[in-house]
Amino acid sequence: MITRFPLKKTSWVLGVVLGIGWLVSPGTGWGSTIYKWTDERGVVHFTDDPLKIPPRYRTSPELEKREISIGAPSGEKSPAGSRLPAGTSPTEAPEQDSELTDAERQAMTEAIEYLQNDIQRYQEFEGYVSNRRTGRMLSLTVHEALPEKKAMAEKLSEFDEPLLKETAVFLKQSIAADEQVPKLGPLMTRNFRITRSRLLDAEQPVKEKLIQKLETRLREAAEREEALRRAARESEPPKPPPVQPEEKSPARKDGSGAGD
């Protein structure tokens, strides 16, 4: 959604207050990021979807964003499908206490592999000289990788697990920046420096941090499941010893017992 306000009549504070009303309906607990920019006519715009920001403003230094997090009133439910309990903001979600489904575990594994490959994809440009040829190479690499990045972001967005949602939000923001990388033009040298700096200096540390968090989440979930299985085994009552069969006296040849 995009909402516009005249610059002279609406302050940033009022815009955030109104933005909360757009993003959160009464009685729900949720949060989001609000983006604000001012167009050439002096009109202020707000949106919660980075893909709806006009291309020329996505990389503008005047683009502002604010994180909004709101808890639901006590006793009421969070948005449908959410893991968050009522009155809990996303940053307070008890991630480590929840079990991972097989689908969530698989999605985390795939996200880790994707982020590792994406880091490796752009590291080769670290030592390249900045010129039009390398700018062209980096631009093509960025655009060729976009379909895979969009598919991963879409897949992770389907889950309610907070860490998967966090990874999906990062990928969507990265997609919005990737789409602004020009494929051709007279400023390829300058674009190479800007794009390489974003990918290596800004985004790579975030990817590495997400990988670390995803690996930790998987490891802790596995340890928790193993602890539960061990506790279940220890709580089982001991099995009674097997009953030994009674020994019979050997029969005599005449058919009488040993005591006859």
- Does a structural domain hold residue 84? no
- Does a structural domain hold residue 239? no
- Does a structural domain hold residue 251? no
Question: Which among 82, 81, 96 has a CA at the least distance from the CA of 218?
Answer: 96
pLDDT at 182 over 80: yes
- Does a structural domain hold residue 208? yes
Whether pTM > 0.85 for this model: the answer is no
**One domain for residues 41 and 105:** no
Of the two residues 118 and 256, the one the predictor is more confident about is: 118
- Does a structural domain hold residue 81? no
**One domain for residues 119 and 194:** yes
**One domain for residues 110 and 211:** yes
**One domain for residues 35 and 103:** no
Q: Specify whether the CB–CB gap between 37 and 5 falls below 8 A.
A: no
- Does a structural domain hold residue 257? no
Q: Work out the mean pLDDT of the chain and round it to a whole number.
A: 75
**Tens digit of each residue's pLDDT (9 = 90 or more) over 212-245:** 999 999 999 899 888 888 888 778 777 777 777 7
**Domain encompassing residue 15:** 2-74
**One domain for residues 142 and 211:** yes
Give the separation between CA 225 and CA 144, rounded to whole angstroms. 40
Token code pair at residue 185: 């033009």
- Does a structural domain hold residue 247? no
72-76, 110-114, 182-186, range with greatest mean pLDDT: 110-114
**One domain for residues 27 and 61:** yes
